[in-house]
Amino acid sequence: MAMPNAPEAAGVNAQHSTSAPSTLRAVLDARRGDGHRMTVAEAIAVIVPVCLDLQQRHARGERLYVHPSAIVPGSDGHARVDPRLAGLPDHPFDRHCLAPELQRTRQPGDACASVYSIGAILYEMVTGQHVGPAMKRPREVDPTLSEAVEILIGKAIIGDHAHRPADLGALASAMYQVAPQKSIHPPDVSAARLDASAELEVDVRLSMLPPSELPGAAPEYSGVSAVPGSPRMPPVDHGTASERQRRKVADDPTAVLGALKARLEADLRPRYVVNKDRMDHGPFTAVELLQQIASHSFTGDDVLRDEIGGEQLTIGEWEEFAPFARQAGLLREKRAEQKAVVHAVHQDKKRGLAKTILGVSLVVALLLSLGLWFRKVRGTRNEDVVVSNDRAGTVEVNGDIKGRKRAVAGGAGGHVGGGYSGGQSYEAVLNSNNETIGIGQQAGGPDLTNAQLGAPLRSASFVTGCGAPDSMKVQVRVAVKMGVPIGVTVSTDPPSGGVAACIDRSVRGLRWPANPKTDFVTTNY
Write down the pLDDT at residue 494: 92
**Co-location of 272 and 135 in the same domain:** no
245 located within any domain: no
CA distance linking residue 152 with residue 119, whole number of Å: 7
Residue where a domain terminates, one of 294, 324, 354: 324
CA distance linking residue 274 with residue 298, whole number of Å: 8
Pairing of strands 473-481, 519-524: antiparallel
**Co-location of 41 and 174 in the same domain:** yes
412 located within any domain: yes
Q: What is the dihedral of CA 324, 330, 331, 336, to 10 degrees?
A: 150
Q: What does pTM read for this prediction? A: 0.52
Write down the pLDDT at residue 460: 81
Residue where a domain terminates, one of 184, 206, 228: 206
In the DSSP assignment, the letter for residue 236 is P
Tally of domains in the chain: 3
224 located within any domain: no
**Co-location of 11 and 141 in the same domain:** yes
| Closest alpha carbon to 267 in 251, 290, 235 | 290
**Co-location of 318 and 409 in the same domain:** no
CA distance linking residue 258 with residue 250, whole number of Å: 14
Write down the pLDDT at residue 392: 45
**Co-location of 507 and 427 in the same domain:** yes
**Co-location of 188 and 120 in the same domain:** yes
Which 3-state string (H, E, C) describes 253-273?
HHHHHHHHHHHHHCCCCCCEE
Q: CB 164: neighbour CB atoms within 10 A?
A: 28
Which 3-state string (H, E, C) describes 68-83?
HHHEEECCCCCEEECC
* Mean pLDDT in consecutive groups of 10 residues from the start of the chain, 525 residues: 39 37 86 87 90 91 92 88 89 88 87 91 91 87 89 88 86 84 75 68 80 47 34 44 49 76 79 88 85 87 83 83 86 84 84 81 74 53 36 48 36 48 84 63 65 86 88 92 92 92 92 90 90
Tell me, what CATH number does 47's domain have? 1.10.510.10
- Which residues span the domain enclosing 427? 394-434+448-524
Length of the chain: 525
**Co-location of 312 and 167 in the same domain:** no
CA distance linking residue 58 with residue 79, whole number of Å: 17
371 located within any domain: no
511 located within any domain: yes
57 located within any domain: yes
**Co-location of 291 and 416 in the same domain:** no
CA distance linking residue 67 with residue 131, whole number of Å: 12
Angle between helices 24-33 and 111-127 (to 10 degrees): 30
**Co-location of 27 and 154 in the same domain:** yes
Residue where a domain terminates, one of 306, 324, 342: 324
386 located within any domain: no
List, in order, residues 6 or more apart from 378 with CB less than 8 Å away: 357, 361
**Co-location of 191 and 280 in the same domain:** no
Pairing of strands 272-276, 279-284: antiparallel
User: Please, are residues 148 and 195 in contact by the beta-carbon 8 Å criterion?
Assistant: no
**Co-location of 201 and 257 in the same domain:** no
**Co-location of 411 and 491 in the same domain:** yes
CA distance linking residue 286 with residue 271, whole number of Å: 8
CA distance linking residue 471 with residue 474, whole number of Å: 10
345 located within any domain: no
